[in-house]
Structure 1
């Protein structure tokens, strides 16, 4: 019986895929975890307790049917596991690599709460879909019938691509407009290859193209084409631009102080084999330098680990709170420390030295009373300032939305007081008829998995609208 294969968490210990040696992985941008073998994937899947109320599923933004595809994997029915996984997630192999499972599904695993160690959900998810690609089970979308409606999607990141996937399954005609030369958004240019190798993203983008999605790349809306022109071409429009405007620090204009996204994009382009003058000149290259990264989120983790691989002399990360209160993944922090990154907790920049930066003036902090979010607020310790030597400073302070109504010359597109687009919860409908929004441009900088969910929900809302219009026309 299938149940005989499950509930092995009492006798089988938790085991992650083999992680490459830290010194070895410092030398390249390849992913750091090996792939599960079939027997190991089945073994680890068999640890699932098949909960009556699966907290792993309820704490996944996509509500993936995790217990079901774990059971299919444990019993050797991998093609069915893939079908179940793909039913709720447009890009399971990407989520398996970059989702912070320790904060989501795995962090809420019932057997973890009982002291047996969580099921390695993310690694199994990655294994299932990587195997599906190898076996040829992943096929371009072939709708039962083509529809006449068309949708224009602005942004080829996770939200836009997820919406395109759903819309093409229904036969809708889809065109994606994007400012970059490659699809994927931050999946391509923001996340380093050691977390997400780029062929994984490119094959998804190519699959959508083979499924009938049209890409218009190197296209800046508001310059190369107007927003109103896109609206006139399509029955509905989805805004999925993400947020790319970097938060800044006062007095951080010296040479050698750079923005995280510029730094990561240069590195990723170099690894694609592109010509990157700012990298070759040393402006966006950490080789031989004392590097200081300011910030404590996942982008900061990407920057410090990239600097290590570029051959930095030293890499330090300044964060104004302590380890327990940092927003980035604890797993990523551990990986960074193994690779040689030094975290300087409870520190914040006060200023910078040199016209070409030579150091960061650092204030030491302590944690005071909780702020409005419930987190303890950092307070300056007077008289404890010091200077941290630095040849390259990377600002990884998060991202804010661009002023899209102004950039696009669009009247009536309402935004929130944070500058994000105001959109209806669950549908993404904006203040403009037939215009939807999804992902970070609605939420603010968030997780890829939330972008996928938003894109899928917006696509479903569009389909309901198209069906309602068709029903009225048929009467």
Structure 2
């Protein structure tokens, strides 16, 4: 009987949840996709082929049991589907919203390869968990037994929160330290509400608090509290700070008023969504209203910036990227959404410098062409001589990627080993660093990466920390 409800991909076409019209959604920061109705979610889940080798599962960093919870959704067994999805994923409703499924699970769907269009895995995942919240199936993960050992986690982003959840389930005393006034890291302040509405993040933080996780916010390690003090207070420490140092652009005119970094821009916008007073937004420094905006970069952060600028009322928004559409690192789905909302993409264009007399007036643009492949396999951009021009701009947002901060120096811990890229050296299995009892996960180890990888790292590290704390004290100290 179960099989009768599946394998519908030949007769049922792929459908995403309905998108709100571009002219309407560009006026607010609410999520752009409407929710699946129960019948539509079941119908789309029934398209799964239940293949013997589920590539969707193997290409998911968390190895979510996707075929089984799709089958349960098709059969209307949603509470069981939720139980299965959250068994491997701490935040399935967040991954369902922001994971680049086109590059991971959906991009490797067997029926997609056969030309029938992938199963809408991300949308079904979001639907399952949103339904679970609405029905009260999502409960705090209270431990069966308390343990005396404590773990300090530095960073309340997805990696740190995933580890906190897993450790608390095991009964450990968990304290999370974070530089911001709200937990969530880039989930809270880096990703706009039209992709991830903030109550979705805050309710998970509240759930962790209800389970007994203690948060110490507005705490900058190395300034407000030393790293050694944190080590002294806990039996193990997990570093999950992420990478917050943004790469700068060079050239003449850098440093003028009106040239801002993407993270500052996005953080101010997200703070306004919480109702915070943000002076830099209110005085126009980090507000695109009425301005000609140019965003430099082609990743997901650049997509967040251009779409935010549209919603703030910019008169025009252009995105400069030095390669073409096929070679951009950001999601093609996000690029399409941006174009629908009025963003203009200028491909094969790179900044050379900026014009203006203290306040930016334009971007000096070099036109590019693609040459031979580089070490990554992508074609390298080459300058077309004599094709430079000026792109007028009142606000320039640089979104050129993130780099790790120099934590050994900032925290006064020179023995914390780092790589030549500045990321922390950690065992790829246990996530333990060169310091005994100190572990590290997420972007501070991998470099700028995906939320789903940070969640996986956090869950793995929690298991390793539990094993470490289970050892006799003499062994753990070695």
Matches of residues 117-136 of structure 1 in structure 2 within 5 Å? 117-136=117-136
For 1:115, the equivalent position in structure 2 comes to 115
1:352 aligns with 2:354: yes
1:7 maps to 2:21: no
**2:398 alignment partner in structure 1:** 395
Residue 475 (structure 2) pairs with residue 468 (structure 1): no
Q: Is the 8 A contact 1:46 1:71 kept in 2?
A: yes
Q: Which residue of 1 aligns with 2:332?
A: 330
Residue 372 of structure 2 aligns with which residue?
369
C-alpha separation between the residues in 1 aligned to 2:452 and 2:324? 26
Match of 2:256 in 1: 254
1: CA distance, partners of 2:77 / 2:467:
34
Matching residue of 1:215: 215
The unaligned stretches of length 5 or more in structure 1 are none
Alpha-carbon separation, structure 2, partners of 1:331 and 1:13: 19
Identify the residue that residue 294 of structure 1 maps to in structure 2.
Answer: 296
Alpha-carbon distance between aligned partners in 2 of 1:472 and 1:181, rounded to the nearest angstrom:
38
Name the residue aligned to 1:405.
408
Cα distance in 2 between the residues matched to 1:366 and 1:187: 35
Is residue 2:461 matched to residue 1:444? no
Instruction: Give the C-alpha shift of residue 470 in structure 1.
Output: 7.8
Cα distance in 1 between the residues matched to 2:370 and 2:475: 60
Tell me which residue corresponds to 1:340: 342
Q: Aligned pair count?
A: 473
**By how many angstroms is 1:468 displaced?**
2.7
Report matched runs for 1:97-176 at 5 Å: 97-176=97-176
Aligned counterparts of 1:170 and 1:460: Cα–Cα separation in 2: 9
SS, match of residue 369 in structure 2: strand
Deviations 1:283-309 (A, max 9, x none): 000000000000000000000000000
- 8 Å CA contact retained: 2:318, 2:344: yes
Superposition misfits of 4+ residues, deviation over 4 angstroms: 470-473
Give a deviation string over 1:357-388, Cα, whole Å, max 9, x none: 00000000000000011110000000000000
CA offsets, 1:84-121, max 9 Å, x none? 00000000000000000000000000000001000000
Residue 184 (structure 2) pairs with residue 184 (structure 1)? yes
**Rounded Cα–Cα distance in structure 2 between residues aligned with 1:58 and 1:275:** 45
Select the residue among 302, 313, 330 that pairs with 1:311: 313
TM-score between the two structures when normalised by the length of structure 2: 0.98
> Larger deviation: 388-397 or 419-428?
419-428
Structure 1 partner of 2:232: 232
CA distance in 2, matches of 1:369, 1:73: 47
CA separation in 1, counterparts of 2:162 and 2:231? 20
Please state if 1:73 is matched with 2:73: yes
1:375–1:472 Cα change, 3 Å: closer
Aligned equivalents of 2:133, 2:74: Cα separation in 1:
19
- How far apart are the structure 2 equivalents of 1:368 and 1:141? 53
Cα 1:11–1:470, aligned 2, differ >3 Å: closer, same or farther? farther
Distance in 2 between the 1:249 and 1:216 partners? 34
- 2: CA distance between counterparts of 1:51 and 1:407? 50
Structure-2 residue corresponding to 1:204 = 204
Query: Which ranges of structure 2 fall in alignment gaps of 5 or more residues?
Result: none
Correspondence 1:415 to 2:418: yes
SS at match of 2:371: strand
Q: Is the 8 A contact 1:426 1:454 kept in 2?
A: no
- Deviation of 1:141 after TM superposition, in Å, equals 1.2
Per-residue CA deviation, residues 38-70 of structure 1 (Å, 9 max, x unaligned), is 111100000000010000000000000000100
CA positional deviation for 1:221: 0.4
Residue of structure 2 equivalent to 1:60: 60
1:411 deviates by: 2.8
Tell me the distance in 2 between the aligned counterparts of 1:248 and 1:234.
37
Q: Please name the residue that 1:278 is paired with.
A: 280
Moved more, 463-472 or 276-285: 463-472
SS of residue in 2 equivalent to 1:71: helix
Deviation at 1:410?
A: 0.7
Contact 2:163 2:458 in 1 (8 A): yes
Paired residue secondary structure (2:463): helix
Change (3 A) 1:175 1:92: same
1:25 pairs with 2:53: no
Distance 1:302 1:342 in 2: 14
Show CA shifts across 1:290-341 (max 9, x none): 0000000000000000000000000000000000000000000000000000
